[in-house]
Amino acid sequence: MPASNSPSTPPRPPRLPEESPAGTGVGTRRITVRRTSEDADPDEYMSPPVQAAAPRAGRGGCFYVSMFGIVLVLAIFGVIALLILTSSSAISSLLGGIGNALAPAPAARVTSSTTIINSIQPLGELVTVNAQLAKADLHVSITQGVLNACSFTTSYVAQGSINAGIDFMAIGAEDIAYDEASKTYAITLPAPRVLGCSIDYIDQYASSTTLCSVDWDTARQLGQYTALQQFRRDALESGLLDRASRQAELVIGNFVASLTGARVDIRFASPTGDTVLPPSCDPPLPLNWTYDDANQTWTPTQ
């Protein structure tokens, strides 16, 4: 006979299998807890069913939105860093390129009045040498305004030429003699001198900025006048007149010899008094400005 159960130990119910409600993907399971204690409460032997957690949906969308926000923030910081590190000239070039692409092609029109002939002068000059000179850094600084608040500076590059030679208008009949015995022409030429000066090219390549009105043309006139004076001085100090005399002796001597077949003796008269410069080499000062040679500064006359 089977042994009788102890009155203090309740019978053990059979273990139930896991069940799933029809039509759902969520399983409902019963958890069986075995108690070894003899004083276990029969009502607590079976635990209530536990509902399994449903899978969470929608996490992929939040992830992509977060990544897009991070990339956008990094892009903004990258653009700001690029603008800080890029020089102002590069930014100006970029904006200028965009403006040129959007704006129409520039056009210019120049109108002129009737040309007036001031004077015509006869010349009998022989230019024997021409000196080409240039300055890469010609700085003009103008101080003006209260506490020099409207001061500005600008820089130019200038090129010019200085001509030297002989003035044939100064040759008289007494300056030419012929010796029959030696068959030689003796010609006395006037001392060589500077015949002309010019600024062939001047261009502004740098300038400062100011909130005040700036007269750029006055600055250019001051720079051009200074460049012309320095070109003339440097050319004379480099021996321009000596080269002019040697070249004149060679050119005139060969010309007379080829025409007459006689020997030619070229001489030069001694310079008399101060050197007379043509108007192109000694232009007037810029309007309303005077120059202090001792201090090497320009002062407005107004």
Summarize the confidence of residues 253-282 as an average pLDDT: 89
Q: Name which residue leads in pLDDT, 46 or 222.
A: 222
Q: What is the pLDDT of residue 255?
A: 93
- Pairing status of strand 152-167 against strand 125-142: antiparallel
Q: Assess whether pLDDT exceeds 50 at residue 1.
A: no
11-25, 135-149, 150-164, 177-191: lowest mean pLDDT where? 11-25
> Do 250 and 136 share a structural domain?
yes
pLDDT of residue 67: 81
Q: Are residues 164 and 229 in the same domain?
A: yes
143 part of a folded domain: yes
Confidence of residue 275 (pLDDT cuts 50, 70, 90): confident
Query: 84 and 229 share a domain?
Result: no
161 within domain boundaries: yes
In a domain, 21, yes or no: no
**Which of 70, 91, 112 represents a domain boundary (last residue)?**
91
**What mean pLDDT is predicted for residues 75-95?**
68
- Same-domain pairing of 147 and 281: yes
Residues 215, 86 share a domain:
no
Query: Is 216 part of a structural domain of the chain?
Result: yes
Q: Do 209 and 217 touch, CB atoms closer than 8 A?
A: no
Pairing mode, if any, of strands 28-29 and 297-300? unpaired
Q: Is there a single domain that holds both residue 226 and residue 159?
A: yes
Considering the domain architecture, whether residues 149 and 67 belong to the same structural domain is answered as no
Is residue 251 packed enough to be buried (19+ CB in 10 Å), middle (13-18) or exposed (0-12)? middle
Q: Is the pLDDT of residue 133 over 80?
A: yes
Say if residue 87 is in the same domain as residue 129: no
In terms of domains, do 204 and 288 share one? yes
Instruction: Place 15 in a pLDDT band, splitting at 50, 70 and 90.
Output: low
Per the rule left: phi > 0, alpha: psi between -120 and 50, beta: everything else, 134 is beta
What pLDDT sits at residue 6?
A: 46
Q: Which two tokens stand for residue 204?
A: 């502004």
Whether 12 has a pLDDT exceeding 60, the answer reads: no
**Parent domain of 132:** 125-300
Count: domains in the chain: 2
- Model-wide pTM > 0.85: no
Residues 167 and 283 in one domain: yes
Answer yes or no: is 226 within a domain.
Answer: yes
Q: What is the pLDDT of residues 167-208, one digit of tens each?
A: 998 899 999 999 999 999 999 999 999 999 999 999 999 999
Interval 88-128: pLDDT, tens: 556 667 667 776 667 677 789 999 999 998 888 888 899 99
Report the distance separating Cα 281 and Cα 227, nearest Å.
11
pLDDT at 259: 92
Same domain, yes or no, for 144 and 290?
yes
User: Are 158 and 72 in a shared domain?
Assistant: no
pLDDT level of residue 64 (50, 70, 90 thresholds): confident
Residue 112 within a domain? no
**Residue 220 banded pLDDT, cuts 50, 70, 90:** very high
More confident residue, 122 or 19: 122
Which of helix, strand or coil describes residue 81?
helix
